[in-house]
Structure 1
Amino acid sequence: MSPCLLLVLLCAATVMTVSGLKCYKCTIRPPSQYSNETERLCSGFDGSEKYQVDCPHSTFCMKKIFELSLQKGRTVHVELKDCASQRYIYQTLLEDQWVTQDVVIDAAYEEGCHDAESEGLRTAATTYCYCRGNLCNSAKPTHEPSHHHTDAMAVIFVFNAMKYIRSLR
């Protein structure tokens, strides 16, 4: 194994294990009976250890807030909690061999809440809140406008563009 490949694999393993962030996690559906996941329904969220998860691939906790429309005109207010999705896995050619790279994109989000754009679709109004710090996604949302939200896809695009430019040298 070449020294460069070994260094890349070591760096990837380090990135995957460095984070020690804990967030609350809850869902609106129970896990599949075939999965090995703990049931963490938001309807029973109480802030206990049962709802705490490690987030090795995140530097932010996330909360998604929306309303579900039910029959007979009823609506239900829903808050999902989880680790923010910041893991980016890609393949790169290194010394004539494809190697899997695994990075956490730290600048994927800004702290605070913002309303999701529905792009003309008929969807429920959704607010996403991101925060840094252990178990920070239990707090009530603050609806401060976040017009400087960094789009995760733009960050990924810039990251890949920089890698491509470096490969041309």
Structure 2
Amino acid sequence: MEQYLALVTLSLITTGVTSLQCYQCLINPPPGEYYNTTKRLCIHFDYSDNFIVDCPFSTMCMKQDFYLDIQNGVRINGVLRDCAQQKHEYQDYKNGKWSPKTEVVEAYEEGCSSPDYKGERAVVTKYCYCRSNLCNTSNTNHEGYTDIMGVIVVFNLMKYINSLR
């Protein structure tokens, strides 16, 4: 797989085609010590070059805004920025052999939308997709930005309290 990614990157460089660049900030670092992204946490997001990533398997940038209203009118807000997830990997059978294939799937429309959930919603989410370099910069108009870990803790706490009833 690493050879395949190196080949794709090399082919993009030699053909002069560059991949889309987006801002990326993570809610929490991915597991594993080999992947040091603690400097790219959303709580530290400042529009600097430290948050710019190449998106070789995406044609769009993504921004996800979400909030959770808790008791006494308190709202916990979060924003996540990244490349849109468009990479589709599969096995192709051709001439008696299986080989790994990767393609970019156009799964999103440009603009913002909120999923239509039926029933009670705990976390309100809005997804925004755009097609130009670093287009996922728009600032959220929420006051009192709080790290999304607060949302996760409160959400799980509410589920636990409801399970006791």
Shorter-normalised TM range: 0.5 to 0.7
Look up the equivalent residue of 1:85 and give its one-letter code: Q
On the 8 A contact 1:61/1:84 being kept in 2, the answer is yes
- Alignment match, 1:99: 99
Q: Alignment partner of 2:136: what SS?
A: helix
- Alignment match, 2:60: 60
Larger relative contact order (CA 8 Å, sep ≥ 6) = 2
- Alignment match, 2:110: 111
Shift of 1:109: 1.1
Shift of 1:119: 3.5
What aligned pairs does 1:10-159 form with structure 2 within 5 A after superposition? 13=8, 17=12, 18-32=17-31, 34-39=33-38, 40-68=40-68, 74-105=74-105, 107-120=106-119, 122-140=121-139
Aligned residues: 129
On the 8 A contact 2:93/2:99 being kept in 1, the answer is yes
RMSD: 2.6
Check 1:35–1:74 CA distance in 2 against 1; reply closer, same or farther (3 A cut). farther
CA distance in 2 between counterparts of 1:123 and 1:94 reads 47
Q: Alignment partner of 1:138: what SS?
A: coil
TM-score (ref. length: structure 1): 0.66
- Alignment match, 1:155: none
State the identity %: 43
CA distance in 2 between counterparts of 1:120 and 1:46 reads 36
Look up the equivalent residue of 1:35 and give its one-letter code: Y
Shift of 1:85: 0.2
On the 8 A contact 1:21/1:59 being kept in 2, the answer is yes
Shift of 1:121: 5.4
Q: Alignment partner of 2:33: what SS?
A: coil
On the 8 A contact 2:68/2:122 being kept in 1, the answer is no
CA distance in 2 between counterparts of 1:66 and 1:90 reads 32
Instruction: Give 5+ residue unaligned stretches, structure 2.
Output: 141-165
Instruction: Give 5+ residue unaligned stretches, structure 1.
Output: 1-8, 142-169
On the 8 A contact 2:91/2:98 being kept in 1, the answer is yes
On the 8 A contact 1:24/1:53 being kept in 2, the answer is yes
Shift of 1:140: 4.0
TM-score (ref. length: structure 2): 0.67
On the 8 A contact 1:22/1:55 being kept in 2, the answer is yes
CA distance in 2 between counterparts of 1:100 and 1:119 reads 38
CA distance in 2 between counterparts of 1:94 and 1:119 reads 43
Look up the equivalent residue of 1:88 and give its one-letter code: H
Shift of 1:120: 3.0
Look up the equivalent residue of 1:111 and give its one-letter code: E
